[in-house]
Amino acid sequence: MIRIAQPSDWQDIMDIYANARRFMREAGNPTQWGDTFPPEDLVREDIRLGRSYVCETDGRVQGVFAMLPGEDPTYRFILGSWLNDKPYCAVHRVASRGEVNGIASQVLAWAMEQCGNIRIDTHDDNLPMQRVLEKNGFTKCGRIWIEDGTPRIAYQKTAED
């Protein structure tokens, strides 16, 4: 089950992000989130604005992500090209507790049901996420740069695909 995150989910969310940072380091991706991403103020803002979602299995929060409708400033410039210029939702900060397989695929399927046009990005070293995106029918569209200037691989999927 996927639902909007509540303030009462705070500890679960922070535990999941800590687990995701550990997993990334162990999988050869130590720099994408480092030791502090996402920062607590961003997570609190996501919850406050109703753009943070959690995935529950058997009553336990197993995953977290943010979904933002509307234009994402980091997606304005792409070296490559998006599949279309239609309104979209951006999915960010996808993370799993690591206890249940397939959380990221559930997130992506749910996001497509809600929006029908999804953009997402990931780090060059995040091979597990690249595999998940490609397995779920996302198209590699090019390269974008996030706020701190580091590059990311940009993906998109539309209901028309």
Q: Looking at residue 31, what is its pLDDT?
A: 87
* Closest to 65 measured CA to CA, from 30, 13, 24, 112: 13
Cα distance between residue 154 and residue 76, in whole Å: 11
Do residues 67 and 115 lie in contact, with contact meaning Cβ atoms separated by under 8 Å? yes
Q: Looking at residue 160, what is its pLDDT?
A: 72
Sign of CA dihedral 68, 50, 110, 133: positive
pTM reported for the whole predicted model: 0.93
* pLDDT tens digit at each of 161 positions of the chain: 999 999 999 999 999 999 999 988 998 888 888 888 998 999 999 999 999 999 999 999 999 999 999 999 999 999 999 999 999 999 999 999 999 999 999 999 999 999 999 999 999 999 999 999 999 999 999 999 998 899 999 999 999 75
Q: Looking at residue 21, what is its pLDDT?
A: 94
Domains for the chain: give ranges and CATH numbers.
2-158 (3.40.630.30)
SS3 of residue 13 by DSSP: helix
Do residues 93 and 38 lie in contact, with contact meaning Cβ atoms separated by under 8 Å? yes
Q: Looking at residue 161, what is its pLDDT?
A: 55
